[in-house]
Amino acid sequence: MTRVLVAADSAIARAGLESILLSHADFTLVGSVGTQPTALQQQIETYAPDAILLDWDRVEDEALSEQLFALGMDVEDLPAIALLTDSLTSTSQALRLGVRAILPRSATKSEIIAAVAAVATGLFVLHPDAVETLQTNLPSTARTLPASPLQALTPREIEVLGMLAEGMGNKTIARRLGISEHTVKFHVASILSKLNASSRTEAVTLGARLGLIML
């Protein structure tokens, strides 16, 4: 069973999301709270959810980043966050702060269920609009792709890139592959260099766009 916490400022939105989660046998609703960081962090510490379904009904992207940052938790310690928002200009920053799925607030029940299930297993889920926004906001150097990425990346680097897409940190990747954390850092640096990406998030997005990995 996947333990899910709902976070939304609107009581109506919370009720709607709770209903969606309760309709799915694989989900356990452990709590429902507003998006205020202190209350949200308390719920996380109390119920230890596997995933957070976060509804963001405000326009200010900066406020979203501030809310996530204010949780004061390392990204690897945060539950996977599935974000519902109609404001996408800070997509890359949200992903760096622990968001694993980005969907519009108009997403269907089936899309929300699929996204929560996916992020709970470590996958990333990006709505096409979010992918387009992320690509548009990439630095120009990140959009300059190698002529033959399949040849540029080694099989091991593609494997590591796939694990980055699953949200794994260096330590987890090192344990999974039976290599040192230093070696993982070397592979990640090489991946970023070969894809002309400035961050892991950009590398994952470019890798998916090139067909190297599946999101």
The per-residue pLDDT for range 42-86, each reduced to its tens digit, is 999 899 999 999 998 875 555 666 777 667 666 667 888 999 988
pLDDT digits (tens, 9 = 90+) for 73-125: 666 678 889 999 887 665 666 777 778 888 888 889 998 999 899 888 877 78
- Structure confidence by residue, pLDDT tens digits, 183-195: 899 889 888 888 8
CATH of 2-137, one of 3.10.129.10, 3.40.50.2300, 3.90.320.10, 3.40.50.300: 3.40.50.2300
Architecture of the domain delimited by 149-209: Orthogonal Bundle (1.10)
Q: In this structure, are residues 97 and 75 in contact, taking their beta carbons and an 8 Å threshold?
A: yes
What does the domain layout of the chain look like in residue ranges?
Answer: 2-137, 149-209
